[in-house]
Amino acid sequence: MSYQLCNIKLEKSSFAKKVEAQFGKAWIIEQNNLFDLYYSFQACIDKIIIMSPFATVVVKTGFYLQIDDPYIYLEVSSDSNLAHDKGIVVLDSPTSFGHGFRNEIYLMMYNTTGKSQQINPYDRIAMFQSKIVNQTAFEYIQGVEQIDAIKTGKKWIQAEKEKQ
């Protein structure tokens, strides 16, 4: 199976370095295993956040982003475990950060429950993966051709048989 290596550059914020010193733990991007589809962002906070019911808070990830390839972007989505366990989701999920974004990544976290929820320093708050932008060309036409799904399906099946 082929793949494209995506070079994503991340700079630790000065606040992330402060949190590292405070807790004595490295600030890193996590991946559960080499074959996991997603990486994880952690809460870059120096004290516990208590989220009120149905409230939104903005949480730092501790990383500035640089993507040099204009055809690559990061897609960030809610962490499945956090959503299941505490009902906390990334509010504008999925959200994208592309080639032109050069700031620290902040995420809007939303408590979907009627109970207060807690986010601790280093808690996983979101998942992300790199994606490739497909180039798209649009053609404006006078009318859309109608197809007969049965005939089209039969033609496809016949073409597949001929390949074998």
Output the pLDDT for position 154: 66
**Which among 50, 40, 44 has a CA at the least distance from the CA of 19?**
44
- CATH code that applies to domain 8-135: 2.70.40.10
Residues of the chain with pLDDT under 70: 1-3, 148-156
Whole-prediction pTM value? 0.74
Output the pLDDT for position 143: 87
Chain centroid offset of residue 138 CA: 27
Cβ-based neighbours of 52, under 8 Å, separated by 6 or more: 111, 116
Instruction: Report pLDDT digits (tens) over 115-129.
Output: 999 999 999 999 998
Residue ranges per structural domain of the chain: 8-135
Output the pLDDT for position 150: 61
Give the separation between CA 109 and CA 124, rounded to whole angstroms: 12
Output the pLDDT for position 153: 63
